[in-house]
Amino acid sequence: MSFLRKMFSGGVDENDPRRFLIEAMLAAMGADGEISGEEVDTLDKTLEEHDLFRDISGDARGRLIDIAAGAIADAGGGLKRVAEIAKGLPGRTHKQTGYTMACEICVSDGEIPESEIRFLDALQTALELDSDTAEELFNAARTTNGLKTVEEKTESMRELMPRFVECMALMAAADGEIHDDELIGVRAVLASIPDMSVLSSDELNDAIVSAFNRVKEKSLDGAIAEAAETINSPLDRYWTTVYMMIVSLADGKTDWREVAFLSTTRDVFELDDELMDQAMKAAMLFPATELGGALPTASE
């Protein structure tokens, strides 16, 4: 199973991320007021052939199209739906996939009018994609390699995932104590973050247990500085901070030591206050998580 298919698999309902992928494509199709045959063909081909939609029936795909089209019509156009589309695609790979699919629609007929450019710009802003990533995905879409590029980015993210988990464990330990219930809580939070689904359940448990074992032996400031040596791209650092903020928000409490540690993270990762505010907004898009369940254990 591809990484994208694994991340987007599951039951079909109004909150299914694939509904918002379809909405991004439909909104792109209607951005210039005209729908070309090439755009329709691109939509049909994506829904019929791509891994993301292969495990749902034709009726289910039709239902998602109806829901997406109805939302656009009720809003008065796709441009007015970009904020809601972004909310429905909270994960990093979700956002990249939605933007790529919209780009593939826009470039399919060989013409990109100003209205489509405005839509893609608005979608990029709502999805909080940096300019370099957006340009890379747009150029890949023009050569029909857009989703392959997303797959490659997801694989790179998977390789860094243990480091991301370690930073989240550091966030959980920022109040000066590490208990079993914090492992349970972090496991529940991580399981709710779509980007983490690139790891199997056993891999996720192993990463959590290993991360907590490592942070017990380190100072917080030293550990985050060490993590920064591996997590060295601005985009990865930004998303690591988002993941850490999700953990910080999960228990509904504010601890001054967590705030102080986030301030240290900002300085070590070289993020400005605007990016920190943006990261907090992104973290708040993730639904609250019930902190409970079994204690994660490393697989044999």
Q: Would the pLDDT of 4 be above 50?
A: no
Token pair in block for residue 50: 């791509």
Check residue 164 and give its pLDDT: 84
Instruction: Give the Cα separation of 219 and 264 in Å (integer).
Output: 12
Q: In whole angstroms, how far apart are CA 218 and each of 58, 175, 178, 208?
A: 53, 14, 13, 16
Q: Are residues 27 and 67 in the same domain?
A: yes
Q: Would the pLDDT of 137 be above 80?
A: yes
Check residue 55 and give its pLDDT: 76
Q: Are residues 26 and 73 in the same domain?
A: yes
Mean residue pLDDT across the chain? 81
Confidence of residue 213 (pLDDT cuts 50, 70, 90): confident
In a domain, 176, yes or no: yes
- Residue 12's CATH number: 1.10.3680.10
Instruction: Give the Cα separation of 154 and 145 in Å (integer).
Output: 14
Q: Would the pLDDT of 295 be above 70?
A: no
- Residue 200's CATH number: 1.10.3680
Token pair in block for residue 119: 């839509």
Q: Are residues 192 and 105 in the same domain?
A: no
Instruction: Give the Cα separation of 181 and 185 in Å (integer).
Output: 6
Token pair in block for residue 227: 């993590």
Q: Are residues 129 and 36 in the same domain?
A: yes
Q: Would the pLDDT of 268 be above 90?
A: yes
In a domain, 235, yes or no: yes
Q: Would the pLDDT of 51 be above 80?
A: no
Token pair in block for residue 295: 């204690």
Query: What does the chain come to in residues?
Result: 300
Q: Are residues 163 and 275 in the same domain?
A: yes
Choosing from 76, 110, 144, the residue where a domain stops is 144
Q: Are residues 98 and 191 in the same domain?
A: no
Instruction: Give the Cα separation of 135 and 203 in Å (integer).
Output: 33
Q: Residue 277: which domain range?
A: 157-284
Q: Are residues 135 and 165 in the same domain?
A: no
Choosing from 110, 144, 178, the residue where a domain stops is 144
Choosing from 123, 144, 165, the residue where a domain stops is 144
Q: Are residues 37 and 130 in the same domain?
A: yes
Q: Are residues 115 and 170 in the same domain?
A: no
Q: Are residues 170 and 236 in the same domain?
A: yes
In a domain, 19, yes or no: yes
Q: Are residues 161 and 81 in the same domain?
A: no
Separation of CA 286 from chain center: 10
Q: Are residues 103 and 168 in the same domain?
A: no
In a domain, 221, yes or no: yes
In a domain, 152, yes or no: no
25 CB neighbour count, 10 Å cutoff: 25
Contact 243, 208 (CB under 8 A): no
Report the domain count for the chain.
2
In a domain, 295, yes or no: no
Instruction: Give the Cα separation of 216 and 286 in Å (integer).
Output: 28
Q: Which tens digits make up the pLDDT trace of 5-23?
A: 444 444 556 778 889 999 9
In a domain, 82, yes or no: yes
In a domain, 135, yes or no: yes
